[in-house]
Amino acid sequence: MRILVDQSGYELLNLGDAAMLQVCVNRLQTLWPDAEIDVLTRSPERLEQFCPGAIAVTPDLSPRRARAQRRSAGAGSNTRSLRLPGALWRADLVISSGGGFLNDIFWRHGARVLNLLALAQLLGKPTAMFSQGIGPLTHPVLGRLVSLVMPRLRLIGLREGAGSVPLLRARRVNQELIHVTGDDALLSATAAERPRTGTAIGLNMRVAPYSEIDSSLAGRAGAVTSQAAGRHGAAVLPLPVSHYQSTFDLDASQPHGATSAYGGGESDDIVTPKELAERAARCRVVVTASYHAAVFGLAAGVPAVCVTNSGYYDLKFEGLGAQFPGGCQIVRPGPHFERELSDAIDRAWDAGDADRDRIHSAAKAQVARVEQLYARLKSLVAAPATPVHER
């Protein structure tokens, strides 16, 4: 058995993407213990760190870029780097692990993933997608690919249903294919018992064109968070998710005048999903403009205060709030932004044990649904596939 996995971030510099990929690979290894799992990535060394034993496949069709990737892998432990055409040809199953790329902002990556799935379907290979967030979706190229490819998947796992399900229904995707499970990253972050209520305030600000949050707005949010920490005698813990140079969360997520548990500097950084989960669980409140910082907090029963300034993040946080009733408060910039954010932090801080237990229980219920969906995949793959040209 050979399985090819496409994914959200080929550089593996986003801990949320990395967590979803880890869960996907681990679940596939559990279902097919003897399978060889190929993963599209430009960073074989990080793939080996996050998914030991998986084989790196260059996503680049250019021979020059493929050779450059193999050279960059050096003599590390994972040197079995393949090229995409061969990996697709020999695959028995093609999967897309979780991501938020099926939308107008990241339409190029979304189109790339769907085109790979379309090729697999033409070859008669079973295909599936897990932990997907969809929308806004008005781009004509991506919209057409969604309509052509997603109805032919064996199953579709969605991390939220409030926004994603209506978009798929509008494109005539069979309801029987659609399963709202919650985010796959919850499997790596949700403990059997809720951790003891934390004492810090977690902070993440995503300064990026697609979030429409600039350094000024991030600074205002950071200042309000620091003031709240001062009122409650709490430290501020940075929760960096993105490590891309252009969107390095740590730069925008430092406390402003409040106590940092680490005193600032390099020790504030974290580089694995496990570290992110552990730090989020130490918080009593998470203030975030990043989706996965909220997910990791909610997994530990920690209420999230979500700052959004774009339609893209509106959908992400509204969908997350529907998965965790009472767990998310959404705050948008406006004339009373500082006061509204401060009040939201205080409300989250005052959440009682019963509220936190309900948030944690919602996370455990979603973990169970994710595991059930992966288990279902095995029986669906066992059914023979029909090449698209024969349908």
Task: Specify the 3-state DSSP secondary structure of 331.
Answer: strand
Decide if 2-188+366-390 and 191-363 have a common fold: yes
Q: How many CB atoms lie within 10 A of CB 316?
A: 26
- Which residues of the chain are under the pLDDT cut of 50? 75-79, 262-266
Superfamily of domain 191-363 in CATH is Glycogen Phosphorylase B; (3.40.50.2000)
294, 306 contact by CB (below 8 A): yes
Q: Which of left, alpha, beta for 212 (phi over 0: left; psi -120 to 50: alpha)?
A: left
C-alpha 211/C-alpha 218 separation (Å) is: 11
Give pLDDT, residue 383: 73
pLDDT number for residue 314: 97
pLDDT tens, residue by residue, 336-385: 999 999 999 999 999 999 999 999 999 999 999 999 999 999 999 987 66
Long-range pairs for 82-86: beta carbons < 8 A, 24 or more residues apart: 82/38, 82/55, 82/56, 82/57, 82/58, 83/57, 83/58, 84/40, 84/57, 84/58, 84/59, 84/60, 84/116, 85/61
pLDDT attached to residue 30: 97
List Cα–Cα distances, 18 to 110, 221, 246, in angstroms: 17, 27, 18
Query: Measured between alpha carbons, how far is 70 from 370 in angstroms, rounded to an integer?
Result: 34
What is the CATH code for 2-188+366-390? Answer: 3.40.50
Q: For residues 246 and 100, give the distance between their C-alpha atoms in angstroms, rounded to a whole number.
A: 18
Tell me how far apart the alpha carbons of residues 268 and 219 are, in angstroms, rounded to a whole number.
17
Residue range 99-143, pLDDT digits in tens = 999 999 999 999 999 999 999 999 999 999 999 999 999 999 999
Residue 83 φ/ψ, nearest 5 degrees: -100, 150
| Contacts of 57 by beta carbon, 8 Å cutoff, 6+ apart | 4, 38, 39, 40, 41, 81, 82, 83, 84, 87
Q: How many residues does the chain have?
A: 391
- Going from N- to C-terminal start, the domains of the chain cover 2-188+366-390, 191-363
pLDDT of residue 388: 57
Per DSSP, the residues of 51-114 read STTPEEEE----HHHHHHHHHHHTTSS----EEHHHHHHH-SEEEE--EEEESSTTHHHHHHHH
Return d(Cα 182, Cα 131) in angstroms, integer: 7
How is residue 331 written in tokens? Answer: 């705050």
According to the model, what pLDDT value does residue 167 have?
Answer: 96
Tell me, what's the pLDDT at 266? 42
In the prediction, which pLDDT does 340 show? 98
For the entire predicted model, the pTM comes to 0.92
User: How much is the pLDDT for 260?
Assistant: 54
